[in-house]
Structure 1
Amino acid sequence: MPVQDYGVWKGLPVHYEFEHDYEDPHSPHLSLYYHDNSETEPQFDRKYRQKHKGKPPKKNSPKEIPGLFRAAINIKSTDRDSRLAYWVNYNISEHPMVQELANLDFGFHDLEDLEGKGLDYIRSGLFDTKKGRVLPHDVEGPNNDMIDVLEPEVKESIDKHADIYIFGSRFDTKNGIHNVHMNQGNIKRFRRDDGVFQDGGLLINNKKTGRWTGIFLAFASQAVHTDNVTGHAISRLTWGQFLPTDLIENSVAIEEAVVRKQNSVTLKNLTNHQVSLASWQLHNSAGQAQEFPGNAVLNPMSTCGFEVPNLHLLSNGDIITLVNGDGLKVDGVSYNSQQGNMEGQSVVFAH
Structure 2
Amino acid sequence: MPLKDYGVWKATPTSFTVERSDKDPVSPHGHLTFKDGVSSKKLSSAINVKSISSDSRLVYWLIQDFKHPLTAKLKSLSPGFHRLTKDQRDIALDILRSNVVNVQDGSVVPHDLPGDKNDIVDFIQPFFDNAINKKATVYIYGEQYSGKDGLHDVHMNQGSDGKFRSSNGVYQDGSVIVEFADGHWEAFFIAFASQTAETDDKGQPKGPSLGELLGKKAQPGGGNDNPDEGDKEPGDGGEGPSRPSDAVVAIAAALVNPDGPDGGENPEIVYVVNNGPSSVSLKGWTIENQMGNSFAIPASSVLKVQGDKEGFNVKGVPLSNKGGSIILKNAEKQVVDKVSYTKTQASQSGALVYFR
State the TM-score, normalized to the length of structure 1.
Answer: 0.59
* Selected match of 1:225 from 185, 198, 205: 198
Alignment of 1:252-331 (within 5 A): none
Tell me, in whole angstroms, the C-alpha distance in 2 between the residues paired with 1:180 and 1:32.
11
Tell me, in whole angstroms, the C-alpha distance in 1 between the residues paired with 2:125 and 2:28.
14
1:4 aligns with 2:4: yes
Which amino acid counterpart does residue 98 of structure 2 have in structure 1? S
Question: Could you list the per-position Cα deviations for residues 27-74 of structure 1 after superposition, in whole angstroms to 9, with x for gaps in the alignment?
Answer: 000000001018xxx9xxxxxxxxxxxxxxxxxxxxxxx953111000
How much does 1:232 deviate? 0.2
**Secondary structure, aligned partner of 1:8:** strand
Cα distance, 1:13–1:89 mapped onto 2, change above 3 Å: same
Which amino acid counterpart does residue 127 of structure 1 have in structure 2? V
Tell me, in whole angstroms, the C-alpha distance in 2 between the residues paired with 1:199 and 1:112.
11
How much does 1:112 deviate? 5.3
Q: Specify the alignment match of 1:206 in structure 2.
A: 180
Q: Specify the alignment match of 1:84 in structure 2.
A: 58
Q: Specify the alignment match of 2:328 in structure 1.
A: none
Tell me, in whole angstroms, the C-alpha distance in 2 between the residues paired with 1:234 and 1:90.
30
CA contact (8 A) 2:41 2:149 kept: no
Which runs of no fewer than 5 residues in structure 1 stay unpaired? 43-65, 247-351
CA contact (8 A) 2:11 2:138 kept: yes
**Secondary structure, aligned partner of 1:234:** strand
Alignment of 1:1-351 (within 5 A): 1-37=1-37, 67-92=41-66, 94-111=67-84, 115=88, 118-207=92-181, 209-228=182-201, 230-235=202-207, 237-245=208-216
CA contact (8 A) 1:130 1:244 kept: no
CA contact (8 A) 1:132 1:244 kept: no
Q: Which runs of 4+ in 1 moved over 2 A?
A: 112-117
**Secondary structure, aligned partner of 1:172:** coil
Tell me, in whole angstroms, the C-alpha distance in 2 between the residues paired with 1:111 and 1:31.
23
Tell me, in whole angstroms, the C-alpha distance in 1 between the residues paired with 2:22 and 2:134.
31
Which amino acid counterpart does residue 188 of structure 1 have in structure 2? G
Which runs of no fewer than 5 residues in structure 2 stay unpaired? 218-356
Question: Could you list the per-position Cα deviations for residues 207-266 of structure 1 after superposition, in whole angstroms to 9, with x for gaps in the alignment?
Answer: 1x21101110000100111002x100122x0111111547xxxxxxxxxxxxxxxxxxxx
Which amino acid counterpart does residue 24 of structure 1 have in structure 2? D
Which amino acid counterpart does residue 35 of structure 2 have in structure 1? H
Question: Could you list the per-position Cα deviations for residues 66-107 of structure 1 after superposition, in whole angstroms to 9, with x for gaps in the alignment?
Answer: 953111000000001101001012232x21111010010000
Tell me, in whole angstroms, the C-alpha distance in 2 between the residues paired with 1:22 and 1:110.
36
CA RMSD in angstroms comes to: 1.9
